[in-house]
Amino acid sequence: MPGVLGVIARRAAPVLRGHVVAQRASIYTRPAKDKIGSFETAVGLGIFSLTILGPSGWILAHLEDYKKKE
């Protein structure tokens, strides 16, 4: 019986894996089409910082509430 399961597994494995997709790196060596201004840069960095630091700041600000055992 184990021999039969091995044969089934060897034949079914390629079918279950499907097609292998070749991965390609998306590297562009040309300069950007449009220049990004300082306002767009500041907004992007601000949103990025808020996204990263916002949740941790919320937890630190409400740390005493989390410590309470009710």
What mean pLDDT is predicted for residues 14-31?
71
Query: Distances in Å between the alpha carbon of 67 and those of 53, 59, 61?
Result: 21, 11, 12
- For tokens 């292998």, the residue is 20
Tell me if 46 sits within 8 A of 53, measured CB to CB.
no
Tens digits of per-residue pLDDT, 46-62?
999 999 999 999 999 99
Token reading at 3? 């021999």
Token reading at 47? 């949103």
Q: What is the pTM of this model?
A: 0.46
